[in-house]
């Protein structure tokens, strides 16, 4: 009888040990994320002294800047003439008419610091998606094998690829209102595929980008051109 009692007590103790749940350490967060920054891109269009018409070369550079900035019809740009410019209204109006050809609105703002005389600044608000620092193999390759923490490189590929693919990084911070979409472009693409009339890839984007960068420089240095700076204040709604 004593032996049976001891066996029963031993079995009960074993069951108690098995059923007791040991607290696991909290799972580590992924630690990787995409950083979205608000950037104001600026271009300074140069006018000849006493002239309100924009030279053809400057108009070409402005068009290249708008293409490189990824402006879409319905977006807004901000224009500002140099302080004390007696031709400010005519010159900003000329820039506004050029923006209107792209389907863009123009909104006057105070001139940015360092804008030279006979220049009109064109500012565009954009959001930039910055991927995490990857790859990250800072953890011990052997690992703890506890299944309670993720590796240091976990999520790197997914987030890095997503940051490159996102069409409008602003969507990562503020969603856009859904609306009806035009199905004609997709239907036309399918029809071209079926009829063997697929369009070749265009190289215009690379040439446009090189043209914009070749003729533009930072306007904060006192010359016409383009610059970008991260803004700490919320961007105007697009």
Q: Cis bond leading into 127, ω under 30°?
A: no
What percentage of the chain carries pLDDT values higher than 90? 24
Residue 221 phi, psi (nearest 5):
-90, 0
Report the relative pairing of strands 35-46 and 226-230 from DSSP bridges: antiparallel
pTM: 0.48
Segments making up each domain of the chain, as ranges: 38-125+221-230
For the chain, give the secondary structure using H, E and C: CHHHHHHHHHHHHHHHHHHCCCCCCCCCCCCCCCEEEEEEEEEEEECCCCCCCCCHHHHHHHHHHHHHCCCCCCCEEEEEECCCCCCHHHHHHHHHHHHHHCCCEEEECCCCCCCCCCEEEEEEEEEEEECCCCCCCCCCCCCCCCCCCCCCCCCHHHHHHHHHHCCCHHHHCCCCCCCCCCCHHHHHHHHHHHCCCCCCCCCHHHHHHHHHHHCCCCHHHCCCCEEEEECCCCCCCC
pLDDT tens, position by position, for the chain (238 residues)? 566 665 666 665 555 554 444 454 444 444 688 889 888 888 999 999 999 998 999 999 998 888 888 777 777 889 999 999 999 999 999 999 989 888 888 889 999 888 999 999 999 888 888 998 888 888 776 666 666 677 788 888 899 999 989 888 888 888 777 777 778 888 999 999 999 999 888 775 444 444 443 334 333 333 334 444 444 444 444 4
3-class SS letters over 59-112: HHHHHHHHHHCCCCCCCEEEEEECCCCCCHHHHHHHHHHHHHHCCCEEEECCCC
24-71 residue pLDDT tens: 444 444 468 888 988 888 899 999 999 999 899 999 999 888 888 877
What's the rounded Cα separation, in Å, for the pair 209 and 50? Answer: 31
Domain at 38-125+221-230: CATH code: 3.30.1330.60
């Amino acid at each position: 009888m004593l032996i049976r009692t001891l066996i029963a007590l031993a079995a009960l103790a074993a069951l108690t040990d098995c059923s007791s749940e040991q607290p696991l350490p909290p799972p580590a967060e992924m630690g990787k994320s995409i950083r979205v920054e608000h950037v104001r891109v600026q271009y300074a269009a140069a006018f000849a002294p006493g002239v309100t018409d924009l030279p053809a070369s400057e108009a070409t550079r402005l068009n290249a800047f708008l293409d490189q900035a990824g402006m879409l019809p319905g977006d807004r740009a901000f224009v500002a003439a140099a302080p004390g410019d007696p031709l400010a209204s005519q010159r900003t109006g000329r820039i506004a008419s050029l923006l209107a050809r792209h389907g863009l609105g123009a909104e006057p703002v105070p001139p940015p610091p360092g804008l030279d005389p006979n220049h009109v600044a064109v500012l565009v608000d954009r959001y930039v998606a910055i991927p995490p620092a990857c790859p990250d193999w800072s953890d011990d390759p052997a690992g703890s094998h506890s299944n309670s923490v993720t590796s240091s490189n976990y999520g790197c590929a997914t987030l890095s690829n997503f940051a490159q693919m996102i069409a409008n990084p602003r969507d990562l911070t503020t969603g856009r209102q859904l609306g009806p979409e035009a199905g004609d472009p997709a239907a036309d693409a399918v029809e071209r595929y079926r009829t063997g009339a697929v369009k070749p890839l265009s190289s215009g984007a690379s040439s446009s980008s090189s043209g914009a960068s070749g003729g533009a420089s930072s306007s904060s240095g006192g010359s016409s051109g383009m610059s970008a700076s991260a803004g700490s204040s919320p961007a105007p709604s697009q």
